[in-house]
Structure 1
């Protein structure tokens, strides 16, 4: 699949898919000749049956959806199959396999395969494998192979690794095989033959989709030794035409670190690649073992023109510098203009042993006192989390009257980080236990959630200091569901842990508590747009109402209520996501309702907009924009929009940047 920032028109999806290149955010095609193909309104405004199918999906009613798989109208069979991909009920597997084998419409068969993969039902493996040699549609073969990766057993991996000879030059099959091996790798299923095949699929003559999947598979599959392939990986990272392939392979080079040539390859990429995401990936691939030969490239990256690259360089020193003089890191940090880069390098300075730590601590505390920005203050507390001698300072800041919610959250995280340090004084452990108790009893959802998480961490051995669960139970009773679900979940897990009880299921809100507002959906145009006006510039979104009606309707209602105006981007992970929409500003905020996940046949490419969640069917108001392809999110987080203008703005967004206003077009 290609990962263009722009969604292609539905009418070209079948053609593109046939050569193995699915667009980042392609809506499902509309049946030829249907009213929805030419209507200026969205498909739900004109079709009550599609509304019915979407409602059944939202309500997770498998039995009521299954009859639509036999409907004479192709578009309803498509919609029902795709709905079952969100429901993810293995009870539908036999009917979906039958649909895959017998339906005359290729798009229906594709969506049946997609739904089977989403359910991850191992009993579907045989049926998928049997369909492959009989499938006449190239794009459907790609779907079948990717679904196999989600369903295959270890024994069946060999069949996915070696395609039938008849498919050896089929570009769609090559893409499907690569994505299948990627999905299997995410599940921990791989082999030497699979790795060798993925390296072959990186060859320049293969489709972009196959190369992208292979790069991601090699980067994200755990436990691989890629040293035998170091030369091939370095060549692909240097020369591939697509930035996301180069970035993925650069990340994979971390697993070839025992080859002597790898540090120089990574240093060259970090210095010279024209795309910031590749430079960033090269820095992330650098390890402590290669510290000396890559150090100068990392120093240079601290002043990279892209702030995300500079931050990643600072994170490299935080993670891997062990013998740098702390005062040297302090001096370099003080000269940096970007506050998050500076604070991260200050954390690295505090982590170093030797003289000068007190002066570094004092410099960080002085910056904290002088900064007017809550997010910078939070990051400075995060830096002090590297120094147990700053415990009292951080505790006072965390619970100071009138402090911002953001500071209180970062402060609690820093206190827990201090306790995890090997040199945390044994005599201060009772004080730390009291801090956790204070955090729980204070009622702030972030502090109590973080405190509860620390209490149940067996490495911290807090059971002896906080054996009684009464204060946790009292705090849990004050929470409001589903708004405070994450805090409730953390508290309940801790109560169960201390009591030695079986884990309590998460209370997910049902559709009846917040049904899809069809009046809102039907009033939207076929291609609704929203403008996110930020302090860095404007970002234009295309809202995918046909693919995620419940999520889009909620977003639209919140926009009309002015909910997002004045909020901040509270989380920015370089070369991953920029996330905003939290009413608290720290990631722990929500609305008074939850949405159900809508897993349409869409892919997380560059500029995909998804809903944050605490698990399936717990989405609310927070959303994120991807900087680059992030296929490990596919089918796990709802995609409800796509950036169509302003990706340059997205690449510059930083924690604390303001969402001035969101408007509908």
Structure 2
């Protein structure tokens, strides 16, 4: 399984880790005054008109509202354009940077950042030095990071000394450098400034952004900053800053002090998320000095830490017999860490390879939980000798959908192994063709992805794409969009064509039900009763009316009752709501993305998607601040109680039912 993007299916997100890795410290934060209201704002017909134009992606209908005399309509129009993300709105939004009202200037800066248009760079840069309102300046700085060129980065990295005492400017600068770093725009001066911003005297928001920037900006060499970053990872009062700083130490792996710092964090940090980040930051080069701490973490009282430790061994262990990991695995009670260690045993192999494979296969046969069965197939994917066993499991009659999904992913992973037998490649190709013809969207989508993988060189096997076209025609849009996308990409790959834009459902196919929206009180709460305990959401109807109305309608239908959390990535998210239970399921309609001015803090609840404007029924809860998701995935709710339950959720845990609290 890859981890590059948020998906409705097995949810491919960018993580700082192995198999899977805000301005408010622990919540989704709303940064514009318009959304922090105590009443449902959509009793206002004009606001409904603006929101409808946003939902229909009608830039031309929204632009006149930017000229309205009423502040609220100018501000809401700018925020609506932040969701539309049309570069045609840049000129009009740029003009609003000089609006007489500061809240409109804030919204305009946010919307310009959302367009990521480099033509906005000059206006945003100028606004930083003209702006008198601290919050508006902060927004302009962050938006500049989303639009800045390499040539203009120096201005963002070197603010005038007069701004040094402005805490809002420090936060804006840090977030601006973070956003630029995500785009690959960085420099030595920018990195040096980020390290300075880690200073404990700086505000939390600046430190959080700086630590995340150092952790997530690709290609950095932080060896010379290892001492400072290590100190922050051990001493910052915020777990979120410590966690991101620990992750950044993976880029300072050659510094002599780093293994000791990571070992200390993995053993002693009081927050499980920091312990996970430390384990994920450990590298193969550090294997000897950190190994004992990773062994100890396998018995950490928090199961997600144990899983991160098992993933460390799967990714980095070398030169040790697989039997050692089989022995360790057999002592674990939690099935995910155990299955991951079994994967490490099979990967490392040794004289007892056949016996280890047999042991894993016997565990599979004895297991009753379909998710555990899936993980055991995933483990067997490390051993080409298990090919026939996995293949039979995939196509077994009456097997759970989840088992087939994990099985096809395991088979594809096995095919990518260097030691996969050449004589078995033809059999694999036939298995992919069978999966395409199965009618199972997970098997179809995964097999199609394998066929177009240039490293597998399968174009020479499948010279004709007709079987893919026949399978594609049997799919139902938008419900089967991800499988359709995968098949179409593979058809174009085999026919050596450029892939055309995918068919995204228009607003007219599922318009916002404004009657339903107006019936939802601002601050409406929902209780999710899980097999681990209850979690309460506050629904954000003013910020995401279409998404909240859809969620409430599905709750009232009992749609989520009995569903599972099908994906849990430690220190990242717990995701559920899939009708298939494997992430490939959907409702029969799509929603449009609603990118309100919100941040993914701890306990933010977002909608999974297969790309912009393809949201459906699946949702996820963040374990910690995840700012790389900001402005890219709809936030429609916030956890207000039960985060201790969220932190303990595991794959396969049930959503017993969801109730709206009156």
> Which TM-score applies when normalising by structure 2?
0.96
2:40 to 35, 39, 42: 42
Q: State whether structure 2 residue 62 is matched by structure 1 residue 65.
A: yes
* Aligned position for 2:12: none
- Is the 2:47–2:73 contact (alpha carbons within 8 Å) kept by the matching residues of 1? yes
- Is the 1:323–1:353 contact (alpha carbons within 8 Å) kept by the matching residues of 2? no
> What is the distance in 1 between the residues matched to 2:205 and 2:145?
16
> What is the distance in 2 between the residues matched to 1:523 and 1:401?
46
- Is the 1:539–1:650 contact (alpha carbons within 8 Å) kept by the matching residues of 2? yes
Q: CA deviation at 1:214?
A: 0.3
Alignment deviations for residues 597-633 of structure 1 (CA, whole Å, 9 cap, x no partner): 0000000000000000011000000000000000000
Alignment deviations for residues 561-598 of structure 1 (CA, whole Å, 9 cap, x no partner): 01000000000000000000000000000011000000
- Is the 2:272–2:302 contact (alpha carbons within 8 Å) kept by the matching residues of 1? yes
Q: CA deviation at 1:25?
A: 2.6
Q: CA deviation at 1:464?
A: 1.7
Q: How does 1:263-274 map to 2 (within 5 A)?
A: 263-274=259-270
The total of aligned residue pairs comes to 640
Q: State whether structure 2 residue 37 is matched by structure 1 residue 29.
A: no
* Aligned position for 1:585: 581
* Aligned position for 2:8: none
> What is the distance in 1 between the residues matched to 2:33 and 2:72?
9
Q: State whether structure 2 residue 640 is matched by structure 1 residue 636.
A: no
* Aligned position for 2:165: 169
* Aligned position for 1:92: 89
* Aligned position for 2:191: 195
* Aligned position for 2:433: 437
Secondary structure of the 1:168 match is helix
Secondary structure of the 2:97 match is helix
> What is the distance in 2 between the residues matched to 1:503 and 1:439?
22
> What is the distance in 2 between the residues matched to 1:275 and 1:3?
18
Q: CA deviation at 1:27?
A: 6.6
Q: CA deviation at 1:648?
A: 0.1
1:514 to 491, 510, 522: 510
Q: How does 1:93-492 map to 2 (within 5 A)?
A: 93-101=90-98, 103-492=99-488
* Aligned position for 1:534: 530
> What is the distance in 2 between the residues matched to 1:481 and 1:155?
44
Alignment deviations for residues 398-426 of structure 1 (CA, whole Å, 9 cap, x no partner): 10000010000000001101111111111
> What is the distance in 2 between the residues matched to 1:165 and 1:198?
16
Q: State whether structure 2 residue 588 is matched by structure 1 residue 596.
A: no
- Is the 1:291–1:320 contact (alpha carbons within 8 Å) kept by the matching residues of 2? yes
> What is the distance in 2 between the residues matched to 1:496 and 1:148?
37
Higher mean alpha-carbon deviation, 458-467 vs 255-264, is at: 458-467
Q: CA deviation at 1:260?
A: 1.0
Q: State whether structure 2 residue 51 is matched by structure 1 residue 54.
A: yes
Q: State whether structure 2 residue 1 is matched by structure 1 residue 4.
A: no
* Aligned position for 2:570: 574
Higher mean alpha-carbon deviation, 285-294 vs 161-170, is at: 161-170
> What is the distance in 2 between the residues matched to 1:452 and 1:635?
30
- Is the 2:439–2:471 contact (alpha carbons within 8 Å) kept by the matching residues of 1? yes
* Aligned position for 1:619: 615
- Is the 2:323–2:349 contact (alpha carbons within 8 Å) kept by the matching residues of 1? no
Secondary structure of the 2:656 match is strand
Q: CA deviation at 1:450?
A: 0.2
Secondary structure of the 1:538 match is strand
Secondary structure of the 2:637 match is strand
- Is the 1:539–1:649 contact (alpha carbons within 8 Å) kept by the matching residues of 2? yes
Higher mean alpha-carbon deviation, 161-170 vs 305-314, is at: 161-170
Q: CA deviation at 1:29?
A: 1.9
> What is the distance in 2 between the residues matched to 1:566 and 1:230?
47
Flag the 1:558–1:442 CA change in 2: closer, same or farther, 3 A: same
Alignment deviations for residues 70-127 of structure 1 (CA, whole Å, 9 cap, x no partner): 11111111110000000001111111111012x1111110010000000001000000
- Is the 1:28–1:547 contact (alpha carbons within 8 Å) kept by the matching residues of 2? no
> What is the distance in 2 between the residues matched to 1:580 and 1:550?
19
Alignment deviations for residues 633-664 of structure 1 (CA, whole Å, 9 cap, x no partner): 00000000000000000000000000000111
Q: CA deviation at 1:165?
A: 2.4
Secondary structure of the 1:652 match is coil
> What is the distance in 2 between the residues matched to 1:537 and 1:526?
25
* Aligned position for 2:644: 648
- Is the 2:23–2:29 contact (alpha carbons within 8 Å) kept by the matching residues of 1? no
> What is the distance in 1 between the residues matched to 2:408 and 2:430?
12
> What is the distance in 2 between the residues matched to 1:329 and 1:361?
13
> What is the distance in 2 between the residues matched to 1:619 and 1:129?
34
Secondary structure of the 1:433 match is helix
- Is the 1:364–1:384 contact (alpha carbons within 8 Å) kept by the matching residues of 2? yes
> What is the distance in 2 between the residues matched to 1:448 and 1:67?
46
> What is the distance in 2 between the residues matched to 1:179 and 1:527?
28
Q: CA deviation at 1:257?
A: 0.5
Q: State whether structure 2 residue 81 is matched by structure 1 residue 81.
A: no
> What is the distance in 2 between the residues matched to 1:130 and 1:214?
23
> What is the distance in 2 between the residues matched to 1:561 and 1:323?
55
Q: CA deviation at 1:519?
A: 1.0
Higher mean alpha-carbon deviation, 347-356 vs 488-497, is at: 347-356
* Aligned position for 1:18: none
Q: CA deviation at 1:5?
A: 3.5
Alpha carbon RMSD of aligned pairs, Å? Answer: 1.0
> What is the distance in 1 between the residues matched to 2:216 and 2:26?
23
> Which TM-score applies when normalising by structure 1?
0.95
